[in-house]
Amino acid sequence: MDQNITPHVLPTACDFTVFGGTGDLALRKLLPALYHRDLEGQLPADYRILGVSRSDLDDAGWRAEVRTALGVHVDAADLYDGAVDRFLARLFHLNLDAEAPEDWDRFHALLKDRPHPEEAVRVFYLAVAPKLFGSICQRLDEIGVVDEHARVVLEKPIGHDLASAREVNDAVGRVFAEPQIFRIDHYLGKESVQNLLVTRFANTFLEPLWNSRWVDHVEITVSETVGVGGRGEYYDNAGALRDMVQNHLLQLLCLVAMEPPTYVGRETVRDEKVKVLQALRPMAAEDVDRDTVRGRYDAGLVDGVAVPSYADDLGHGGSRTETFVALKTEVQNWRWAGVPFYLRTGKRMDRRASEIVVVFKEPPHSMFPGAEGTTAPNRLHILVQPDEGMRLHLTAKEPGPGGYRLRPVSLDLSYATAFDARLPDAYERLLMDVIKGNPTLFMRRDEVEAAWTWTEPILRRWAATPERPKRYPAGTAGPTSAAMLLERDGRTWTEPDQ
Ligand code: BG6
């Protein structure tokens, strides 16, 4: 059978190990996601969750931490005493010092301490600093726990630039074959992002319009109200381009721009996404100066609450790290040549809203002479968060006698009302895919490296210029020069509530 479409089966036994088991990601996202899937009865009949960390905790201590985390991160309506207790009983904690061989022996013993250990699918989720990826994989190999059913999950960032991404990929690749490596980009697990594929390719009406003949431009906005919080050290070494654009925003762009694969299979979607990344207009130094804007937040008001500047959040003011990026690019292929793709993302903005807006061209001819009212080009909004859905802006006749009064109206699809079901968190879908061995929604090595290849010249140019990121007050839409990026092309950003 074609490897692309062999069914993904739930194993009967699984040991799901989280390195960084007491960390923020594990407690805030991974364990709540696994709890929800357990509640739905979707985890393998015989599963264990092994938390590995440097914390001096026994099983009971870790279970208590996880119980508290579930209380914070799971809706109260989904917390049933029996279910929580049943879930916690599957959890085991191992205090491990990565440099201590005897600790690795204890880990090995823990993995073996179950009925038929050779039949259990082993998942190793590395929710730790990327500099540890290579050495952890090497240790796993040395203690002999990597068989052909094992899987490793890598959290971003995969590297800091192209060379370091290659190093990470090489180090992990020495132990795990590419199909066993799951590089997670949680945006691909969001319902509305997956629905983008379905909207484009399970319907006929959009496809004939989805090209440079009918599309004027595309905007992708991921705007956050949070600051850098407790992640200052990581963030100050990364910045918005590495933290958000190189992965999440480029992945969204790929799904908007890609060609239809013959079918959705393990490699077919990823094959098409890579082609988009390879078709992005390369950024020469003058393109970077003209088509990118960097910003950094000052103190301000977010939702009426006073918040400190980035420098105060960090506790020092020296870095040139950007907390906001806006840029213009183009997909240089037959379908998209000449259509600008405008991307922007920032922290401490005026609202939390992520959306993709496809703005269509004006009708070729206006056939309503003397019409009153206003018209606007058609726009399709794909609402990624906070409220998932879709909105199509059309021009309609305002009811009433007399002449034509034209008015923009919108067709709204809200997932929450259209589907009477809880929308799972992105990690729930992705962790199930890991357990079942389905890599379709994970980034393949060539994708990550193609994304770095395009991003790196921007980083290089920024590092080479004395210019610093433009300041913007927290609680605004970013620096004014971000607006200029579109205004000079005769366009404006579509704000999320428009
Ligand atoms: C993470 C970034 O990958 O995505 C964070 O490291 C960012 O800086 C987060 O806040 C945004 O995710 P979401 O799902 O809240 O949009």
337, 191 in Cβ contact below 8 A? Answer: no
Nearest CA to ligand 1 atom 9: 244
Does residue 388's CB lie within 6 angstroms of at least one atom of ligand 1?
A: no
List the domain boundaries for the chain.
Answer: 13-155, 188-487
What is the average pLDDT score of the chain?
94
Nearest CA to ligand 1 atom 4: 244
**What pLDDT is attached to residue 62?**
98
Nearest to 229 by CA among 151, 297, 320: 297
In which region does residue 254 sit, left (phi positive, over 0), alpha (psi from -120 to 50) or beta (all else)? alpha
354 CA closest ligand 1 atom index: 16
| Rounded distance from Cα 155 to ligand 1 centre (Å) | 12
Fold category of 188-487 in CATH: Dihydrodipicolinate Reductase; domain 2 (3.30.360)
pLDDT surpasses 70 at 185: yes
238 CA closest ligand 1 atom index: 6
Nearest CA to ligand 1 atom 15: 224
- More confident of the two residues 72 and 9: 72
Residues 52-76 pLDDT 10s: 999 999 999 999 999 999 999 999 9
Nearest CA to ligand 1 atom 6: 243
Catalytic annotation, pick one of 36, 160, 217, 248: 248
Backbone angles phi, psi at 457, to 5 degrees: -60, -30
Residue 179 is encoded by which pair of tokens? Answer: 């199909």
Fold category of 13-155 in CATH: Rossmann fold (3.40.50)
**What pLDDT is attached to residue 39?**
96
Rg of the chain (C-alpha set): 24
Torsion of CA 267, 271, 273, 276, to 10 degrees: 180
| Rounded distance from Cα 355 to ligand 1 centre (Å) | 14
Residue 338 is encoded by which pair of tokens? Answer: 């000449």
Backbone angles phi, psi at 381, to 5 degrees: -100, 125
Residues 269-326 pLDDT 10s: 999 999 999 999 999 999 999 999 999 999 999 999 999 999 999 988 767 899 999 9
316 is in an annotated binding site: no
For ligand 1, pick from 73, 193, 224 the residue to mutate: most ligand atoms within 8 Å of CB: 224
Q: Which residues of 217-231 are buried (b: 16+ CB within 10 A; e: fewer)?
A: bbbbbbbbbebbeee
DSSP classification of residue 249: I
- More confident of the two residues 406 and 26: 26
pLDDT surpasses 80 at 370: no
Nearest to 296 by CA among 312, 275, 283: 312
pTM of the model: 0.95
State mean pLDDT over 349-361. 96
pLDDT surpasses 60 at 263: yes
Residue 86 is encoded by which pair of tokens? Answer: 């049943």
| Rounded distance from Cα 372 to ligand 1 centre (Å) | 44
Q: Is 381 a catalytic residue?
A: no
pLDDT band at 253 (very low <50, low <70, confident <90, very high): very high
How far is CA 220 from each of CA 149, 251, 299, 496, rounded to the nearest angstrom? Answer: 38, 11, 26, 11
Backbone angles phi, psi at 282, to 5 degrees: -65, 145
The residue whose two tokens read 């062999």 is 6
231 CA closest ligand 1 atom index: 8
| Rounded distance from Cα 218 to ligand 1 centre (Å) | 22
395, 376 in Cβ contact below 8 A? Answer: yes
Pairing of β 151-154 and β 181-183: parallel
Q: How far apart are CA 286 and CA 142, in angstroms?
A: 49
Does residue 243's CB lie within 6 angstroms of at least one atom of ligand 1?
A: yes
Question: What percent of the chain clears pLDDT 70, i.e. is strictly above it?
Answer: 98
**What pLDDT is attached to residue 5?**
62
